[in-house]
């Protein structure tokens, strides 16, 4: 997949193919629909996964990228289960950042039960900073993204903002389902895992419904930022928000 000459507006980094789809897929789809140039980088091939193979997972990731409308999907060769925050690994991410120059980066929240998720958060965060240093030479121009948006895996955080993905929900679930080796399939003969259970999919939908309810939408995805944001005109910023309607979403028919 090729990128336009202007660079990316945003790029998501996560350890495994399917992490992005699960955690911020609806938001990436929404941004792509609005004309933003969106990309993704999978840090590993997921070779330690109980189900599937690196080859099948690569094919699934490419199908999901098309569904989400991504302009590019990179894949690095960091070892699954051993994501280390060292100079060599930071350099690999710096090269991706300087190649695609995304204004904004999405990556994992730094607290999670899966060590790869927590480790990748620290690795990507530090790489975003060091990418702006001229004396780290990669044969590319220095570049530093404007801001990092952190997404949830399993561990929750107090969200900085929520994105309404009601209109993108169906396509997000289609992108998740592209990773057929990993998720619920009644006909699969592969070993069962937590994420391959039907319960996992039900829980995923319920979480999106919960966050949607918090903003008067059907489905939403949560994000965290570390910075305080300066606001010159709060009336303009919140002009489309009516707090009286946030908790009054009509019930969804089942």
The total number of structural domains that make up the chain: 1
51: alpha, beta or left? (left if phi > 0; alpha if psi -120 to 50):
beta
Distance CA 88, CA 78 (A): 10
- 174 in a domain, yes or no? yes
Residue 254 banded pLDDT, cuts 50, 70, 90: very low
Distance CA 162, CA 216 (A): 11
Q: Distance from CA of residue 211 to its chain's centroid?
A: 16
- 253 in a domain, yes or no? no
How many other C-beta atoms are found inside a 10 Å radius of the C-beta of residue 7?
A: 16
- 50 in a domain, yes or no? yes
> Among 13-17, 18-22, 50-54, 168-172, which is the least confidently predicted range?
50-54
Q: Are 125 and 114 a contacting pair, CB within 8 Å?
A: no
* pLDDT score of 3: 42
* pLDDT score of 1: 37
Distance CA 182, CA 185 (A): 9
- 73 in a domain, yes or no? yes
- 1 in a domain, yes or no? no
Summarize the confidence of residues 56-78 as an average pLDDT.
Answer: 95
* 3 state SS of 91: helix
Residue 245 banded pLDDT, cuts 50, 70, 90: low
14-27: per-residue pLDDT in tens? 999 999 999 999 99
Beta strand 220-224 with 161-164 is antiparallel
Reported pTM = 0.90
- 4 in a domain, yes or no? no
Range of the domain at 58: 10-245
Beta strand 38-42 with 147-151 is unpaired
> Among 102-106, 136-140, 200-204, which is the least confidently predicted range?
200-204
* pLDDT score of 5: 54
Distance CA 58, CA 211 (A): 31
The rounded mean pLDDT for the chain is: 90
CATH number of the domain where residue 106 is located = 3.40.50.10320
- 27 in a domain, yes or no? yes
- 106 in a domain, yes or no? yes
> Among 40-54, 72-86, 144-158, 198-212, which is the least confidently predicted range?
40-54
């Amino acid at each position: 997949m090729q990128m336009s000459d202007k660079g990316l507006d945003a790029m998501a980094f996560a350890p495994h193919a399917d992490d992005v789809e699960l955690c911020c897929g609806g938001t990436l789809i929404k941004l792509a629909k609005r004309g933003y140039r969106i990309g993704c980088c999978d840090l590993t091939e997921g070779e330690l996964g109980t189900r599937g193979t690196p080859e099948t997972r690569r094919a699934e990731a490419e199908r999901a990228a098309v569904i989400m409308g991504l302009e590019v999907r990179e894949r690095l060769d960091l070892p699954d289960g051993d994501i280390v925050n060292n100079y060599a690994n930071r350099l690999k991410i710096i090269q991706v950042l300087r190649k695609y120059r995304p204004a904004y980066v999405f990556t994992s929240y730094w607290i999670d039960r899966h060590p790869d998720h927590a480790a990748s958060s620290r690795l990507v965060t530090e790489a975003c900073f060091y990418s702006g240093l001229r004396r780290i030479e990669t044969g590319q121009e220095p570049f530093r993204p404007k801001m990092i948006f952190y997404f949830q895996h399993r561990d929750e955080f107090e969200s900085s903002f929520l994105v309404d993905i009601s209109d993108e929900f169906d396509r997000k679930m289609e992108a998740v389902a592209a990773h057929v080796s990993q998720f619920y399939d009644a006909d699969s003969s592969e070993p069962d895992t937590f994420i391959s259970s039907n319960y996992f999919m039900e829980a995923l939908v319920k979480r999106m419904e919960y966050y949607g309810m918090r903003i008067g939408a059907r489905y939403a995805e949560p994000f965290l930022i570390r910075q305080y944001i300066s606001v010159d005109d709060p009336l303009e910023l919140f002009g489309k928000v009516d707090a009286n309607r946030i908790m009054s979403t009509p019930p969804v028919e089942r």
